[in-house]
Amino acid sequence: MSLRSSARCRPSVRTAGLVVLALASAPLPAAHADEDPFSLVREEQTVTGAAKRAQPLSETPSAVTVITAQEIHAHGYHTVGEALRWVRGVFVTYDRNYTYVGVRGLQRPGDYNNKVLITLDGHALNGCVFMDGLFGEELGIDMETVERIEVVRGPGSALYGTNAVLAVVNVVTRRPSRETGVTMSGRTGGQHEGRAFASIASSRPGLPEWSVSGSWLGARGADLHFPEYDDPATHGGAAVDADGERAVNLLAHADWRDLHLTVKLNERMKRIPTGAFGTTFADRRNRTYDGHDFVELSGSRQLSPALELVGRAYWDGARYRGYYIYGPDNATFVNYERGDGDVIGTEWRGHWSPAPRHVVTFGAVAELDPRITLDSYDLDPYTLYVAERTRSSVFAGYLEDERRFGARTILTAGTRVDRYPGIDPVLSPRLDLVVRASSQLTWKLLAGSAFRAPSRFETDYASPPQILNPGLGPERVTTVESELVRATGPVTITLSGYQNVVRGLIDLVQWDSSGTLQYQNRERVHGHGLEGEVDLVRPGGTRLRLAVACQRSDLEETHAELSNSPRWNAHLALTHAPAGGPLTVGLGLRYLSPRLTLGANRTAAATVADARLGYRVGHGAQVGLEARNLFDARYGDPGSEEHLEDQIIQDGRSLFVTLTYRPAPHP
């Protein structure tokens, strides 16, 4: 791609700012002096992931996209990762074991999603061993329980600390008060897949409210062919019955007065058909087990009309098991790997409003990782490679100050300090300006810095072909962004431009000519891009959304293009979900431009269509017909260093039938 064509998508933040400031003279209604100091953050249409408190979407100090429950149900998204495919500037890849999320051109092969923070109702779910963000079935969240998904772009470390580098994805679940009775659903089809889900809830005046949901999934998976293994010694490249998956999930909520208890448990087993890490190709015993469990007790108290205190205490358990088969078919042996970690933590946060136009958020976090385990050894004969037993901790404090100037301008400044053992304290500042130029026009100028601390796996794991790197430092990103939003009647138009500078990018690289791998801090990465979206919402539950993103990310010294960094990313989504209507429709078409692979090749452009039709067949019951990759597009995602494959083939056309029974929720 030429530098000339790259310049065509360079954002003009200064021009956008001048245009909007010139339009900022239209008056807005003034706020009442005697209003509730928290009324500005208690509007019905709110998001919570951007500032750790409720805010109107138009006033968030971030570029935020909300995926609603109506869209999730109409399109039949199976996982959070699948829903994120339809978010502006976000792309999703799959290596036939894990789902990876890229934001604005950045998703490094082998990074385990550690630059995107995923939270469940504000509770961080990235693991303490790999710092991995899970987004597929391995996440263990059933989409039937999801109220909305908030995608907060840009640096989020000023409030959330590590991992909130490119975005924070906050999954908001449905509370017991919004559920009624029993919900059940089932799905079959695809690659010999079957799934069942059930939930029960109780919400009675004067009594504790609670809900419990769970699911089971089993899939044989696809029979695949990999040209890189097209040899008689490796079954001609055919991987038969080696792509299966099994998952069990449980989620429980209990609310009583100002206290909230959440329990999440899950385990997912996935077979690996790709021969990753030099394992015996197509041996169905190659598999991983993943789970992320947590228990959290949280509560809030209004200490005065101007001061609210929120506290939570929690335990997290991240679990990973890997069984890797090596050697020829007639003389194989098993390598066993384990990566476990426990976290005991607490967070205390206050929201203080000394005046109606002024809100201060302050908080402190303390986490102890009393047990982090990394094991790798052959079972028979026993050969030990890794036996790490360690612990860690983090202490952090943050402060955010939001001030309103008149009725049209909001200025938010904040920072957080994180302290990890062996790493200098990390400061993550941000400064954001939101200007409501009129009731129809909003301009945001956003700037901030975020970081990711190296994981224990990156620094301490040493098993061939990987060697350790105890001197690995954190990676940092600085982002400047301008967003312009124009809402006129049923049409909302969004334009944004941004620039990212990544310092100390942590990458899995080949250390020597013999194939040794090591995580290292690389040179700076510069990225810039433009994004546009048109959102049309019509009466009767119909919505049409068109989004286009153009970006380029290069290494600073060599100006070399990053691998797995799509220049163009676009989608068109139609949702028809009328309240109480008999028919729901979800249609989507997405495009991803060719991406550079680690082998210096390019993937084919991917144009993929998905569709779902749902029809109500009785009171609360709906039958659905779903199609993934409707036109059977053939494409692959770039493989990472552990794969012999330069590209990992993706699923062709898949059809599913669903049946759901869900009573109407409480208003």
| pLDDT tens string 423-452 | 899 999 999 999 999 989 999 999 999 999
Query: CA nearest 141: which of 70, 247, 65?
Result: 247
Distance between CA atoms of residues 535 and 326, nearest Å: 51
The DSSP letter of residue 184 is: E
Q: Are 553 and 105 in contact (CB under 8 A)?
A: yes
The CB density around residue 378, as the number of other CB atoms within 10 Å, is 15
> What integer pLDDT is reported at residue 632 of this predicted model?
96
pTM for the full predicted model: 0.92
Higher local confidence (pLDDT), 10 or 288: 288
Q: Are 525 and 506 in contact (CB under 8 A)?
A: no
Strands (E), 489-599: 491-503, 506-510, 517-521, 525-538, 542-555, 568-576, 583-592
Task: Specify burial of residue 536 (Cβ count, 10 A radius: 0-12, 13-18, 19+).
Answer: middle
The CB density around residue 416, as the number of other CB atoms within 10 Å, is 25
Residue type, 17: G
Query: CA nearest 416: which of 363, 368, 367?
Result: 363
Task: Specify burial of residue 275 (Cβ count, 10 A radius: 0-12, 13-18, 19+).
Answer: buried
Band of the pLDDT at 620, cuts 50, 70, 90?
Answer: confident
Angle at 639 between CA 636 and CA 643, to 5 degrees: 125
State the distance between the two ends of the chain, measured CA to CA, in whole angstroms: 52
Band of the pLDDT at 24, cuts 50, 70, 90?
Answer: very low
Share of the chain above pLDDT 90, in %: 77
> Which residues in 190-202 are b (16+ Cβ under 10 Å) and which e?
bbebebebbbebe
Lowest average pLDDT, out of 42-46, 114-118, 601-605, goes to 42-46
- 215 by DSSP, 3-state: which? strand
- The dihedrals phi and psi of 201, each to the nearest 5 degrees, come to -145, 155
Lowest average pLDDT, out of 2-16, 243-257, 478-492, 542-556, goes to 2-16
> What integer pLDDT is reported at residue 665 of this predicted model?
60
> What integer pLDDT is reported at residue 38 of this predicted model?
35
Query: CA nearest 247: which of 269, 277, 276?
Result: 269
> What integer pLDDT is reported at residue 667 of this predicted model?
53
Band of the pLDDT at 41, cuts 50, 70, 90?
Answer: very low
| pLDDT tens string 508-563 | 787 777 778 888 888 789 999 999 999 999 888 899 999 999 999 998 878 889 99
Let me know how many helices (H) and strands (E) the chain has, helices first.
6, 37
Distance of CA 505 to the CA centre of its chain: 19
> What integer pLDDT is reported at residue 365 of this predicted model?
98
Band of the pLDDT at 339, cuts 50, 70, 90?
Answer: very high
Average pLDDT, the chain: 90
Band of the pLDDT at 606, cuts 50, 70, 90?
Answer: very high
Computed on alpha carbons and rounded to an integer, the radius of gyration of the chain in Å comes to 24
Residue 322 pLDDT more than 70? yes
Q: How many residues are present in the chain?
A: 667
Q: Are 490 and 544 in contact (CB under 8 A)?
A: no
| pLDDT tens string 122-152 | 999 999 999 999 999 999 999 999 999 999 9
| pLDDT tens string 272-310 | 999 999 999 999 999 999 999 999 999 999 999 999 999
Interval 634-652 mean pLDDT: 94
Query: Which helix or strand (DSSP H or E) is residue 218 part of?
Result: strand 209-219
Query: Which helix or strand (DSSP H or E) is residue 186 part of?
Result: strand 181-189
Residue 45 pLDDT more than 70? no
- 233 by DSSP, 3-state: which? helix
Interval 39-53 mean pLDDT: 67
Residue 33 pLDDT more than 60? no
Interval 362-367 mean pLDDT: 98
Q: Are 165 and 176 in contact (CB under 8 A)?
A: no
- Assign domain 3-11+42-661 one CATH number from 3.40.390.10, 2.40.170.20, 3.30.70.20, 3.40.50.300: 2.40.170.20
Share of the chain above pLDDT 70, in %: 93
Residue 1 pLDDT more than 50? no
Distance between CA atoms of residues 259 and 313, nearest Å: 11
- The dihedrals phi and psi of 546, each to the nearest 5 degrees, come to -120, 125
Interval 399-410 mean pLDDT: 95
> What integer pLDDT is reported at residue 53 of this predicted model?
92
